Amino acid sequence: MKIIIAGAGEVGFHLAKLLSYESQDITLIDTNKESLNYADSHLDIRVLKGDATSISVLNDAQVQNSNLVIGVTSSETTNITLCMLAKQLGCQRTIARISNTEFIDCKDSIKFDELGIDELISPEELAATEIQLLLNKSAFNDTFEFEEGKLIMVGVSLPKAAPFVGNEVKEAAKIFPELHFMPIALKRAGTQYTVIPRGDTIFKEGDQVYFITLKEGVDELYKLTGKRKQDIKNVMILGGSKVGFKAARDLCLQKFNVKLIEKNKEKAFDLADDLPAALVINGDGRNVELLEEESLASMDAFVAVTGNSETNIMSCLVAKSKNIKKTIALVENMDYFQLSHSIGIDTLINKKLLAANNIFKHIRKGEVVASMRLNNLNAEILEFIVKPKSRVTGKVIRELDFPKMASIGGVVRNGLGVIALGGFQIEAGDRVVVCCLPEAITKIERLFL
């Protein structure tokens, strides 16, 4: 697949890195020579210095032969203009990163596809949505919903007290007669190896395990993982960034009690006007005395989303020392993901990873409607729509030539989620959620073509 990425910043570089690992034909465009030199020396891609909205630069990038153009520069005007030009010049599909979420809110009334923009992505909006999901399922450190919650993916680190630690997967499944969950991936504590669980896989203390479950299965997982369902009502947000504002806005709409701390005085007053249901405080959130004065200890959750990853991590550690139930930190450095559980922070979120997850579904073969890479695991989750002529159509799961490095977590059929076991027959129109290691992706794609 020939892909052009405009913008060699954090999101663009991360996307180019992930895609280059899969031997995609990548051209990265940027006006910053230093950023391009770094990408050129670290990745197996083509770099091109110039304005992404220049027709001559796009022709040099062979836009007419491209399958996908992704605009992820810091300027949404540039990204939108690029997509419009690229489509006119012959590109098959375009994606634009935006910061003004009004565009997404109004995409039904404004036909962006007719303008040449197939998809709009806001990393800030994705991060705010992720925060909301995490607070609604507070005992888990990672979560994702398929088909508006028909199937739910949750990630959890197994404590020693978890009832099925030391048991095989098939033994754990017997605890509940009606199975409402399926383990799809795990990583052993202290290792970098990702395992696709089988019936004889043994759960161990400290495992980071990902499950696909139904809504009714969430309560079962609370019991089986030894976690307690915690009611989150009072939330303190550090940082009035775009993510902080959007998270506060969404949480207020869900009737959470929100305190937002912003260091910049003028910005704090503007936020107070825009968030009448939240209590906005002007102050430095790094000041422990200020946090204590604002009743940090009475909060159920603490969310740090300033522009500084280290500030976010350290403030979450302060919150954790006050026995806050849930801590979430926004970080830019992907390497920090390996440290989150060992240092005690419940969840780290990363805008680059969220944006990449959203974009990846446009790169996969077959009709992929959702795609995500698991935090700090070498695994990917894909949601396919089964076509009438797909190789899996009409087949029972246990009879499929399915690679051992992949598993089917669940199926959405006629609007209902199903945990699909070996005897389940896949039909055209089903939405199948698959978890697989990178080596198995090509074979999985062929099954669903």
Q: Which segment, 32-41, 202-211, 333-342, is predicted with the most confidence on average?
A: 32-41
Place of tokens 């979450």: 316
Confidence of residue 300 (pLDDT cuts 50, 70, 90): very high
Residue 3's pLDDT is: 94
Query: How confident is the model at residue 177, as a pLDDT?
Result: 60
CA 173, CA 394: separation in Å to the nearest integer?
A: 26
Residues sharing a CB contact under 8 Å with residue 126, sequence separation 6 or more, in sequence order? 351, 354, 355, 358
pLDDT higher than threshold 70 for residue 82: yes
Model pLDDT, residue 84: 95
Q: Residue 50: what pLDDT?
A: 95
Does the model's pTM come out above 0.85? no
Per-residue pLDDT tens digits for 148-193: 888 988 888 888 877 778 888 887 777 666 667 888 999 887 777 8
What are the percentages of helix, strand and coil residues in the chain, rounded to 5?
Answer: 35, 25, 40
- The predicted model gives 137-155 an average pLDDT of 78
**pLDDT of 288 over the 80 cut:** yes
Which tokens hold the place of 141?
């450190």
The mean pLDDT value for 35-59 works out to: 93
What is the arithmetic mean of pLDDT over 362-373?
Answer: 68
Whether the CA torsion 157, 249, 107, 430 is positive or negative: it is positive
Q: How far apart are CA 195 and CA 187, in angstroms?
A: 6
**Percentage of residues of the chain with pLDDT beyond 70:** 91
Residue 18, pLDDT score: 77
Q: What is the pLDDT of residue 53?
A: 95
At 426 the pLDDT is: 94
List, for residues 325-349, the tens digit of each pLDDT value: 889 999 987 667 666 556 678 788 8
Q: Which residues pair with 433 in a beta bridge?
A: 383, 410
Q: Which two tokens stand for residue 359?
A: 């974009």
Residue 22, pLDDT above cutoff 90: no
Mean pLDDT over the full length of the chain: 86
pLDDT of residue 160: 82
Kindly report, residue by residue over 222-262, the tens digit of the pLDDT. 776 666 666 789 999 999 998 999 999 999 999 999 999 99
How confident is the model at residue 175, as a pLDDT? 67
Give me 262's structure tokens: 């912003």
The answer to whether residues 234 and 207 touch, using CB atoms and an 8 Å cutoff, is: no
Residue 135 has pLDDT above 90, yes or no: no
pLDDT at 229: 63
